[in-house]
Amino acid sequence: MPLAPLARPALALGAGATVALALPPWGFWPLSIVGVVLFGIALGSAPSPRDCARLGWLFGAGWMYLGMGWMVQLTVPGYLIAAAIFAGFHAAAAAVSPSGPWSAIGRPAAHAAVEAVRFSFPFGGVPLASMGIAQVSGPLAGVARVGGVIVLTWLVFQLGFAIAALVDRRAAPAPWQREAPAVAGLVAVAFVIGVSTVAPTGTPTGDTLRIAAVQGGGQQGTSALDVPSSVVTERHLEATATIAADPDLDLVFWPENTMDVDRFEGSQPAALITEQAARLGVPISVGLTEDVITDDGSRRFTNAQVVVTPDGEITSRYDKVRRVPFGEYVPFRGVIERITSAVDRVGEAVAGTDPAVIELPTGERLATVISWEVFFGGRAREGVKLGAEAIINPTNGASYTGTIVQTQQVASSRLRAIETGRWLVQAAPTGFTAFVSPDGEVAQRSSQRDQIVITRTIELRTGNTWYTSLGDGPFIVALLALLAIAIWRGRPPGDVRFRRGP
């Protein structure tokens, strides 16, 4: 499909913005596919690698700068740099992909592969604004239980690029052999969707857990420097005090960062929690920030979720493993602090090392992903593989105004529930607090800023989905194999680089 020289860059940038508009909070899931189709048309059937890289960067920029707008509130320089880097990933993917008919296979594999890289690099990855988050409300979400977000991402790219290839060839008719890769891509999409409808989803154990998720309420756009920790603790104690004693209640669940102490055990906040646990006769899982003195004498902190019984015993604890870059630690702090003193506002968290699971006194195991960790499929998967029968996500989005982070986090919670076949409970100080079913439906959700307790009985589940059993590794290898095959098959006729020796 012929396009004017300036139209291609504009279309690529607009295609990326279209993908971003499929994300929460704007979220209309078909726009992801539409955006990829437009990007495929912008690339055309045989552009130069240099042009592909330029158009790929514009596509990524339109997607990342809009979809990751939340990052401005964390670090403006980091936002500008991170979005540019991640757009560069898609520039590289576009540049290495083959042109011609086999682009319909190679491009989806390349762009899904660089998204897999983005989920883990740099600084442990930034897996927000992903295709999976956008698709969780649509009919393709069930694919996550087969191959997680990576396969779901590939599926969207494959569908979009195949449609774009067929549209281009309708404008310039070609022999059916040239359309075969695009048609094969659509067949593969249909096959994966079909498989997802019969893939295992886990099974109920027959037992249930009645959980009261506590949201203390308050203003958003605030930090620990703006609102004393004691105020946050008090709000959650007030909300917990409204819970009536109930013989069917099994657990009270507090969000992340609701207590800030030098040492929790034996502290006054611990005594207040124990008092409420004793009144209700059930354990309380509470999120706390606890000071740590490292071996070199520096003062740091750990972000943990603990279980406190009615007699005041701490029976289980999980310390957050995946820390938020520029939020809970500063990469290259020594270099950056020479440029700006703003890094002094960011503490240095100590990463935990234990598996992502806590155990209740009655023996139930809960996969525990604290805040940021819910964006990483491997964290919840780890807990479920260790026998977790449900998932909890204590979080704290109070630092962010608007709803970009909060709605993308609920969408990520929905993905984690689908991937593992487990109920997921999310609790936040200022919202959103929610219960999510194993098929990804939001059964209950709070409003933002409200002080509220939402209570629900969830079924405990066992058994593994295919994603829980396999993880991401096999699918990343498959993407790279697809890309290699597409590059080999898409080589120009007579290209001596692919010939054997004489």
Give the model's pLDDT for residue 498. Answer: 39
Distance CA 78, CA 439 (A): 35
Is residue 304 within 8 A of residue 317, CB to CB? The reply is yes
129-159 pLDDT per residue, tens: 999 999 999 999 999 999 999 999 999 999 9
Give the model's pLDDT for residue 295. Answer: 72
Q: What band does 175 get if pLDDT is binned at 50, 70 and 90?
A: low
Q: What band does 431 get if pLDDT is binned at 50, 70 and 90?
A: confident
Q: Which of 177, 79, 188, 167 is nearest to 128 (CA)?
A: 79
- Domains of the chain, CATH where assigned: 7-200+470-497 (no CATH), 203-464 (3.60.110.10)
Q: What band does 205 get if pLDDT is binned at 50, 70 and 90?
A: very high
Give the model's pLDDT for residue 225. Answer: 63
Residue 220 has pLDDT above 90, yes or no: no
Q: DSSP 3-state helix, strand, coil percentages of the chain (rounded to 5)?
A: 45, 15, 35
Alpha carbon of 185 to those of 93, 105, 164, 482: distances in Å?
A: 18, 6, 12, 11
Percent of the chain with pLDDT over 90: 77
Pairing of strands 424-427, 365-368: unpaired
Give the model's pLDDT for residue 401. Answer: 83
Higher-confidence position of 415 and 81: 415
Q: What mean pLDDT value characterizes the chain? A: 91
310-330 pLDDT per residue, tens: 999 999 999 999 998 888 888
Percent of the chain with pLDDT over 70: 93
Give the model's pLDDT for residue 226. Answer: 73
48-58 pLDDT per residue, tens: 899 999 999 99
Strand-pairing partners, residue 392, are 368, 425
Q: What band does 500 get if pLDDT is binned at 50, 70 and 90?
A: very low
Q: What is the dihedral of CA 256, 262, 268, 273, to 10 degrees?
A: 20
Distance CA 127, CA 105 (A): 24
- The model carries a pTM of 0.93
Residue 171 has pLDDT above 60, yes or no: no
Give the model's pLDDT for residue 165. Answer: 92
Higher-confidence position of 402 and 495: 402
Cα distance between the two ends of the chain: 40
Distance CA 46, CA 491 (A): 12
Burial class of 494 by CB neighbour count within 10 A (0 to 12, 13 to 18, 19+): exposed
Distance CA 415, CA 222 (A): 28
Render 79-101 in DSSP notation, one character per residue. HHHHHHHHHHHHHHHHHHS--ST
Give the lowest-confidence range in 32-41, 175-184, 191-200: 175-184
Residue 77 has pLDDT above 70, yes or no: yes
346-398 pLDDT per residue, tens: 788 999 999 999 999 999 999 999 999 999 999 999 999 999 999 999 999 88
Distance CA 368, CA 376 (A): 12
Section 246-263 average pLDDT? 96
Pairing of strands 424-427, 284-293: unpaired
**Cis? peptide before 432, omega within 30° of 0:** yes
Residue 113 has pLDDT above 70, yes or no: yes
Section 211-221 average pLDDT? 93
Q: Which of 128, 107, 98 is nearest to 37 (CA)?
A: 107
Q: Which of 52, 55, 158, 68 is nearest to 113 (CA)?
A: 158
Give the model's pLDDT for residue 398. Answer: 86
Beta-carbon contacts of 384 under 8 Å, excluding residues fewer than 6 positions away, are: 367, 391, 420, 422, 464, 468
Residue 1 has pLDDT above 60, yes or no: no
Q: Which of 171, 150, 169, 154 is nearest to 107 (CA)?
A: 154
